């Protein structure tokens, strides 16, 4: 039986922004997401998001049909199930799928509505989601519904890890209030910041005052993490020498070493 190991490296950087741009993008009320994994062995994650409405009678949510660095039309909405909405008092609100990647919600004048849905993740790539008993790799574009009004606003994420999962790693800035809490200044940053949740091996080094992390999922008995981290540091230092600066606040190398479905079927 031939067993093939899929090694997937996702590099994610948190880029620096100017103060005036950041201020402009945080003026509007943020969307606030909670990701939960009550039964990760089923390959599902549950998403809840508090959506500000400005008391409009209707709001429309959209899901991206692209992903950063891979600009083909994607059908991410096919993995979104059971979209519901409720007012603050728990009253159910009407949800209509207005387009293949859009959902229109009748707000009833509520200042904020809570939208819940499930996302199936069983495709390992740099643009999709993977959820299993041991860990989850969450990409932004196939996960987060956002307002379709183009208003610049922050997007906050709180993660409820599955039982036994102790760590989450992402290029997003940490948010106050405890672990597994992150804040993106805008939707584009959220879509471009993968999140790994589980128990990965993490190696940290600093170059030019910037934190770098090699995050290995599945390295046990397969990969020499400490040596790889030293090699990466050498590469980053040479990169810094050649270009003269590092244009980000922190940088993650997400290194996924896991059996693919094809390997399991061999």
Question: Cα–Cα distances in Å, from 180 out to 145, 157, 193, 219?
Answer: 20, 8, 14, 22
pTM for this entry: 0.88
How many angstroms separate the CA atoms of 140 and 67, rounded?
A: 8
Residue 150 Ramachandran class (φ > 0 left, ψ -120 to 50 alpha, else beta): left
SS3 25: helix
Angle CA 38–42–45, to nearest 5? 50
Domains of the chain from N-terminus onward: 5-265 (2.60.40.3650)
pLDDT computed for residue 261 by the predictor: 46
> Exposure string (b/e) for 133-145, b if CB count within 10 Å is 16 or more?
ebbbbbbbbbbbb
- The per-residue pLDDT string of the chain (266 residues; one tens digit each, 9 = 90 and over) reads 334 445 556 666 554 333 344 444 447 899 999 999 999 999 999 999 999 999 999 999 999 999 888 888 999 999 999 999 999 999 999 999 999 999 999 999 999 999 999 999 999 888 999 999 999 999 999 999 999 998 999 999 999 999 999 999 999 999 999 999 999 999 999 999 999 999 999 999 999 999 999 999 999 888 999 999 999 999 999 999 999 999 999 999 999 988 654 444 43
pLDDT computed for residue 71 by the predictor: 80
């Amino acid at each position: 039986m031939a067993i093939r190991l899929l090694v997937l490296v996702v590099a994610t950087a948190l880029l620096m922004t100017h103060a005036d741009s950041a201020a402009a993008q945080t003026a509007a009320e943020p969307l606030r997401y909670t990701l939960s994994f009550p039964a990760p062995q089923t390959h599902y994650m549950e998403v809840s998001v508090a959506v500000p409405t400005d008391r409009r009678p209707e709001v429309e949510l959209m899901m991206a049909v692209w992903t950063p660095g891979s600009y083909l039309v994607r059908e991410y909405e096919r993995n979104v199930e059971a979209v519901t909405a409720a007012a603050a008092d728990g009253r159910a609100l009407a949800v209509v799928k207005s387009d293949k990647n859009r959902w229109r919600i009748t707000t009833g004048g509520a200042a904020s509505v809570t939208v819940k849905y499930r996302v199936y993740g069983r495709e390992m790539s740099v643009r999709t989601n993977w959820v299993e008993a041991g860990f989850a790799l969450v990409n932004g574009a196939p996960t987060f519904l956002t307002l379709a009004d183009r208003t610049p606003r922050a997007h906050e994420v709180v993660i409820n890890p599955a039982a036994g999962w102790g760590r989450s790693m992402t290029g997003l800035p940490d948010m106050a209030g405890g672990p597994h809490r992150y804040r993106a200044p805008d939707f584009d940053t959220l879509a471009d910041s993968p999140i790994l949740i589980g128990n990965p091996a993490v190696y940290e080094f600093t170059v030019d005052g910037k934190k770098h992390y090699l995050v290995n999922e599945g390295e046990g008995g397969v990969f020499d993490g400490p040596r790889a981290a030293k090699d990466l540091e050498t590469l980053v230092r040479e990169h810094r020498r050649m270009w003269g600066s590092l244009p980000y606040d922190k940088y993650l190398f997400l290194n996924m070493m896991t059996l693919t479905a094809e390997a399991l079927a061999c």
